[in-house]
């Protein structure tokens, strides 16, 4: 009887690990993209696990009466940052539809819309945090189309 109970518990634990789980997330603003970070790329897809790496990609853009929502100082103790950066003659806006994980694979779903600006160049970021976890890949799904899957190094997990 005990063996049967143990097997049932193991089976349900395995099923739970393969279940689709919604991840808590937060979106941030008030950052500019460093002109040293992939300056010639039309798009960048980034997963960041520490403040030093974040600071190599983004800087805080302070303006008068700034009410931007920025990462807390201790964010990287418990969070990973996922970022999409679009560059060129358009201003991009993003809306996160949801973030899920299943078996270590994370999917960030978002809608991206743009307004053409023929005389102006922009680097527009989407910056989102998720709780750190045993993730293996991050897939960026824009407007229902998977654009990029990033395999995470072991150190970032």
pTM above 0.75, yes or no: yes
**Domain encompassing residue 56:** 17-156
Q: Convert the pLDDT of each residue in 88-129 to its tens digit.
A: 999 999 999 999 999 999 999 999 999 999 999 999 999 999
Answer whether 31's CB lies under 8 Å from 75's CB. no
Q: Give the list of residues 6+ apart from residue 10 with CB closer than 8 angstroms, or none.
A: none
**Domain for residue 152, yes or no?**
yes
Question: Which percentage of the chain shows pLDDT scores above 90?
Answer: 80
| Rounded average pLDDT over 47-59 | 96
Q: How far is 55 from 147, CA to CA, in rounded Å?
A: 25
Phi-psi region of 16 (alpha: psi -120 to 50; beta: other; left: phi over 0): alpha
Q: Convert the pLDDT of each residue in 128-155 to its tens digit.
A: 999 999 999 999 999 999 999 999 876 5
Residue 63: its pLDDT value, please?
Answer: 80
**Domain for residue 25, yes or no?**
yes
Query: Is 120 in a helix, a strand, or coil?
Result: coil
**Domain for residue 7, yes or no?**
no
- Domain count across the chain: 1
């Amino acid at each position: 009887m005990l063996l049967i109970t143990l097997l049932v518990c193991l089976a349900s634990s395995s099923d739970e690990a393969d279940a689709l789980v919604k991840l808590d997330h937060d979106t941030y603003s008030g950052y500019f993209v460093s002109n040293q970070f992939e300056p010639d790329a039309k798009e960048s897809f980034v997963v960041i696990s520490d403040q030093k790496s974040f600071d190599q990609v983004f800087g805080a853009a302070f303006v008068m009466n700034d009410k931007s929502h920025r990462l807390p100082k201790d964010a990287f103790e418990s969070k990973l940052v996922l970022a999409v950066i679009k560059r060129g003659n358009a201003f991009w806006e993003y809306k996160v539809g949801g973030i899920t994980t299943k078996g270590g694979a994370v999917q960030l779903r978002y809608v991206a819309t743009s307004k053409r600006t023929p005389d102006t160049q922009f680097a527009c970021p989407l910056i989102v945090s998720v709780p750190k976890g045993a993730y293996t890949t991050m897939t960026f799904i824009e407007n229902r189309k998977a654009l990029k899957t990033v395999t995470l190094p072991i150190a970032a997990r």
